[in-house]
Amino acid sequence: MDPDRRGNCQGTGCNRPRQRTSVLPRDARQSACEESCRSLLVASQFHLADLFETAAAQIPDRIAIKSDAGHLTYGELNARTDRLAAGLWAQGVRRGDNVGLYMMNGPEYLESLLAAIKIGAVPFNVNYRYRADELRYLFDNAEAVAVIHGAEFTPVIDELKPDLPKLRLAISVDDGIGQTRSPTYDELLQTAPAGPFERHEDDILLLYTGGTTGAPKGVMWPHKAFFFACLNGAGYYHADGPCTAPGDIAARASGGYHLSMFPTAPLMHGAAIWSALGAMLSGLTLVLDPVRSFDPVAIWDRVEREGAQMVQIVGDAMAIPLRDALRDNPGRWKLDHVINFGSGGAVFSESVKADLRQFLPNAMITDGMGSSETGVSGMAIPSAEGMMRLPVNELQSIVVDGRLGTVGETGFVARSGNIPVGYFGDPVKSAETFQTIDGTLWSVSGDTARIDDDGFMTVFGRGSTCITTGGEKVFPEEVEEALRTHPAILDSVVAGQKDDRWGERVVGVVSLREGCTRPAFDEVKSHLSSQLAGYKLPKALVWVDAVKRSPAGKQDYRWAREVAASA
């Protein structure tokens, strides 16, 4: 099967133009074409590898990934992951083995995830900003058998391995920074495809939580539940909506809206990997950035350069600097092609959304809500006060003292149906979060909400961070958003501190916007008084250089409580 002079594949029944921009050498591109010319298999189960292979077979020449390394088509991506999967198997990785993904954003992250699930292994996300002790806990808790890591992390892997007897295999990816060590990622890519491998739609994906309110926990998602709860059954980009049968993925990929998406957050974060996988199973083109540091100017440069039509972020931590870059560089970018600017996984303030609409005239600004334990709960509808609102139905409600809540009650947001099966290796926490109520299993999140009389619930925020002052409950997110409306305040986080009179008092931890003078406390309090009830107003402010957030953009409330103690 040789390319003709026009660069077309001459395999039986195949006359597809060859891609001219590719990260693969010519002989590997020919091999990729050969493999993608095999009979188009149709998925018979909701296993993500089956679904991806079916989608890729429909659109082998469409660009799947654009990155600094070049372009990868769906056919090339499928061929590479077949070889990488065989390489993992040859190195002793087996069905059910947990495989850590410890690298920056790039094609290798998605390839590693796909390769692992192709052989029935269980990929899990690793926070690349963790220090040695945090990583030691994570790998030990996950009972990791293998890790695929950027070469820059080789020294810390070497430090950890003596303490992790189950960690048998470390595969280094050439990231242009560190020194690779055999077995390398590129060596595994030389393995001939093998299989078939046993797969089931109840195979597990392991998603570790951010650990902002406690130690990270591994949420066990069956593939089928993950596909529907986190990826909307590949229904976001097709007129027919979510798949009703596995074979529907072929039409979702080939007949949906061919758009390009740029997930700006680290793929180790749930919201980012959900966006990326959902896009790939729908035949979209992904734009990837290494995200070594969040540079809003570079982000907008890439959006314009690559023509990204959809931009995905995680809350105000990303939205505010992106907005400020637009303000500070008027007319620098042409962004008329952007049709969606979406957030998920963290608070996205209404005031920031309003500002962004001025710069993105053709974009729908969306705000999704969900959690590692529930998947995507839906697109939030803001209340008059700017709080999130979600529909209440047979699959989504609140739980109050072990029962489903009713109108007027406040409890914890919960989902049933397609949900995780528990936390890995933690039956106690699993029993607390995954509760059987009236014969139905519900995943109970840490988000607190009140059921209103119009069929919706108003979501206040994380119950574990709720402050009780003078007998009244204060949800930090509401105060944080109000603080960020002050022109001199760049970012904020709110925590409670013990108080002899009030039980707890509200303390704001804030950072100053560049070029502004620090306002007096009374001036800030006066600004807030038109937005918040008196008991919600901070009793003190602590000014810091920067509000600490996780790589996923979420505030670190443990850090905030420590800082607030100095007030």
In this structure, is residue 266 part of a structural domain? no
- What confidence score (pLDDT) does residue 386 get? 64
Question: How many angstroms separate the first and last alpha carbons of the chain?
Answer: 73
Assess whether pLDDT exceeds 80 at residue 455: yes
Pairing of strands 146-150, 204-208: unpaired
Residue with tokens 């850590």: 100
Assess whether pLDDT exceeds 60 at residue 351: yes
Residue 73's nearest CA partner among 124, 31, 11 is: 31
Banded model confidence at residue 384, pLDDT cuts 50, 70, 90: low
C-alpha distances (whole Å) from 339 to each of 16, 323, 368 are: 30, 16, 16
Do 158 and 209 share a structural domain?
yes
Do 68 and 208 share a structural domain?
yes
Residue with tokens 């390009």: 260
Asked if residues 351 and 484 have their Cβ atoms less than 8 Å apart, the reply is yes
Residue that finishes a domain, picked among 230, 249, 275: 230
In this structure, is residue 436 part of a structural domain? yes
- What confidence score (pLDDT) does residue 480 get? 92
Mean pLDDT for the stretch of residues 458-470: 77
Banded model confidence at residue 22, pLDDT cuts 50, 70, 90: very low
Q: Which contacts (CB < 8 Å, 24+ apart) does range 374-380 have?
A: 374/229, 374/413, 374/414, 374/415, 374/419, 374/443, 374/445, 375/225, 375/226, 375/228, 375/229, 375/230, 375/274, 375/415, 375/418, 375/419, 376/229, 376/230, 376/232, 376/274, 376/344, 377/413, 377/415, 380/459
What is the amino acid identity at position 31? Answer: S
Residue 286's nearest CA partner among 517, 26, 531, 72 is: 72
Do 214 and 84 share a structural domain?
yes
- What confidence score (pLDDT) does residue 228 get? 97
Do 303 and 203 share a structural domain?
no
- What confidence score (pLDDT) does residue 426 get? 95
- What confidence score (pLDDT) does residue 348 get? 83
**Cα dihedral sign, 544-271-77-26:** negative
Residue 181's nearest CA partner among 169, 166, 192 is: 169
What is the amino acid identity at position 52? Answer: F
In this structure, is residue 286 part of a structural domain? no
Asked if residues 509 and 566 have their Cβ atoms less than 8 Å apart, the reply is no
Do 69 and 109 share a structural domain?
yes
What is the amino acid identity at position 457? Answer: M
In Å, how far from its chain's centre is CA 184?
A: 27
Residue that finishes a domain, picked among 200, 230, 260: 230
Do 183 and 133 share a structural domain?
yes
Give one word for 289, left, alpha or beta, with left for phi > 0 and alpha for psi -120 to 50. Answer: beta
Assess whether pLDDT exceeds 60 at residue 39: no
Residue 371's nearest CA partner among 317, 443, 434 is: 443
Mean pLDDT for the stretch of residues 132-155: 96
User: For all residues of the chain together, what is the average pLDDT?
Assistant: 88
- Work out how many domains the chain is built from and give that number: 4
How many whole angstroms separate alpha carbon 21 and alpha carbon 63? 10
Do 218 and 101 share a structural domain?
yes
- What confidence score (pLDDT) does residue 464 get? 65
In this structure, is residue 323 part of a structural domain? yes
Do 163 and 90 share a structural domain?
yes
Do 220 and 126 share a structural domain?
yes
Distant-in-sequence, close-in-space partners of 465: CB < 8 Å, separation ≥ 6: 213, 475, 476, 495, 557
Residue that finishes a domain, picked among 461, 483, 507: 461
- Domain range for 145 is 26-230
**pLDDT tens per residue, range 532-563:** 888 899 999 999 999 998 766 778 888 998 99
**Cα dihedral sign, 225-228-234-240:** positive
Do 167 and 103 share a structural domain?
yes
CATH number (domain holding residue 432): 2.30.38.10
Q: What number of CA atoms fall less than 13 Å from residue 382's CA on the CB side? A: 15
DSSP letter assigned to residue 163: G
Do 145 and 86 share a structural domain?
yes
Assess whether pLDDT exceeds 60 at residue 205: yes
Assess whether pLDDT exceeds 90 at residue 163: yes
Mean pLDDT for the stretch of residues 407-434: 95
Pairing of strands 388-391, 375-379: unpaired
CATH number (domain holding residue 340): 3.40.50.980
**pLDDT tens per residue, range 84-132:** 999 999 999 999 999 999 999 999 999 999 999 999 999 999 999 888 9
In this structure, is residue 15 part of a structural domain? no
Assess whether pLDDT exceeds 50 at residue 246: yes
C-alpha distances (whole Å) from 255 to each of 128, 269, 296 are: 37, 29, 33
**pLDDT tens per residue, range 472-498:** 778 788 899 899 999 999 999 999 998
Distant-in-sequence, close-in-space partners of 245: CB < 8 Å, separation ≥ 6: none
CATH number (domain holding residue 493): 3.30.300.30
In this structure, is residue 103 part of a structural domain? yes
Dihedral angle computed from the Cα positions of residues 382, 386, 387 and 393, in that order, rounded to the nearest 10 degrees: -20
How many whole angstroms separate alpha carbon 499 and alpha carbon 539? 11
Do 545 and 514 share a structural domain?
yes
- What confidence score (pLDDT) does residue 1 get? 31
Asked if residues 264 and 289 have their Cβ atoms less than 8 Å apart, the reply is yes
- What confidence score (pLDDT) does residue 383 get? 62
- What confidence score (pLDDT) does residue 29 get? 44
Assess whether pLDDT exceeds 80 at residue 28: no
- What confidence score (pLDDT) does residue 550 get? 73
Banded model confidence at residue 463, pLDDT cuts 50, 70, 90: low
Mean pLDDT for the stretch of residues 236-254: 94
In this structure, is residue 279 part of a structural domain? no
In this structure, what token pair is assigned to residue 147? 């890790």
Record the pTM. 0.81
Mean pLDDT for the stretch of residues 461-477: 76
